[in-house]
Structures are given as structure tokens and as C-alpha cells.
Amino acid sequence: MDLPSTIPTSFVPHPASSSSPSKSSFDLSDAFGFIAYLILAVVFVAAIGVFFYGRVLASDQASKDAQLQKVTASIDSTTIDSLLRLQNRLNSSKTLLANHVAFSNFFSLLDTLMPSTVRFAALHLSLNDDGTVSIDGSGVAKSFNSLAFASTEFATDGRIKDAIFSNIAVSPKDGSVSFDLFATLDPSTVAFSP
């Protein structure tokens, strides 16, 4: 039997690279695999970093604990007691100074507000239970106008409150005016200020 003339009698095989399909097209599964390996590497490096950072923190804490124990052992109990006594004294002095009443501010205020023609014959200052200070006094003014001026000064300034002048009597000899005064003071007027 004769072979048809269309069938070649010999052939040369083509190289495998030329016959395989080209890989120039983008493969999505390879990209996801690369990203997954990249994420795995980053997580692995971060885990190693956290592990070593934990070791550094643990050694740092151990050294700080050792320092604290040394310092605690070096503290003298008598020094602590003396510091506590000093703190108690300072707290007590703050309390005393906060509650201390100093009338020098009041007398300076009275000197600036009262005209020179008005003087006190008696003046009684009392500290009430509620912390207010009241004034009870008697005095003499050269004239009724001097007394009215003093009353206006008290009202204008506001630190001597509710001033009531009573028992006003004019002397027939020289026209001087005797009076009694009752008033309350603003707490800042008698507060201690260093």
C-alpha cells in the first residue's frame, strides 16, 4: 500500500517553548499568592518584633523593680516620721492662717474713710459664730455734715456694711454731734494677708 502524497515522510518537532501558550496575560491567582506571602512575611516580622519588645520591657521592669527595692531599703524611718510631722505642721499653719483675723486692714480702712472731724470714743469689734465681724461703737463728730459724709463714704466703699448711726445728739455748747454706730464688716477686711 502506498501512502498518500499529502502525508510527509519526515518531520522535525518544534521546540516546546514555541508550542506552549504564552504567559504574558495577567494571572490573578499569582497576584493574590504574592500578596498573601507578603502579608505573612510582615506579620512574621511584627510578631518577632513584639516578642523582642516584650523581652526588653520585662528586663526594664526587672531593673526598675530592683532600683525601687534599693531605694525603699535606703529610706530611714526617722526621716519619714520627721517629714510627716513637718507636713502636719504646715497643714495646721495653713488652717490657722486661713482662719486668722487681722484688724489692721480694718483700721487702715477706717483711717481712709473717716474724715478727721469724726472720732470714736469707744469701738468694740466682735467676731460672730457665723464668721462675720460686727462693729459697735460710739463717737463724736464736729458737725452733722461730717457724720453724713462718713455715712456716705461707708456706703460708697461697701466694705463696712449696714452702717446704722443712732442716738444722734447735738451738743448745745459747740454744735458737735455724738453718735452710736453699728455695722458689719466684709470678711476680706479682717482676713489675714501676709
Q: What is the pLDDT of residue 193?
A: 64
Q: What is the pLDDT of residue 26?
A: 63
Q: What is the pLDDT of residue 8?
A: 66
pLDDT tens digit sequence for 64-89:
999 999 888 888 888 888 999 999 99
**Residues 13-50: b if buried by 16+ CB within 10 A, e if exposed:** eeeeeeeeeeeeeeeeeeeeeeeeeeeeeeeeeeeeee
- Grid cell digits, residue 159: 466694705
Percent of the chain residues topping a pLDDT of 90:
21
For β-strands 118-127 and 133-141, DSSP reports them as antiparallel
Average pLDDT estimate for 106-113:
83
User: Lowest mean pLDDT: which of 14-18, 30-34, 91-95, 133-137?
Assistant: 14-18
DSSP states along 54-83: HHHHHHHHHHHHHHHHHHHHH--HHHHHHH
What are the residue ranges spanned by the domains of the chain? 104-190
Average pLDDT estimate for 92-120:
81
Q: Look up residue 101 and give its DSSP letter.
A: B
pLDDT tens digit sequence for 129-145:
777 788 898 889 888 88
Average pLDDT estimate for 154-183:
85
At 148, the pLDDT band (50, 70, 90 cuts) reads: confident
Give the best-scoring range by mean pLDDT among 59-73, 107-121, 124-138, 169-183: 59-73
40 pLDDT higher than 80: yes
Which residue, chain included where needed, has cell 508550542?
19
pLDDT tens digit sequence for 11-23:
677 666 554 555 5
Does domain 104-190 fall under CATH 3.30.70.60? My reply is: yes
Percent of the chain residues topping a pLDDT of 70:
86
119 pLDDT higher than 80: yes
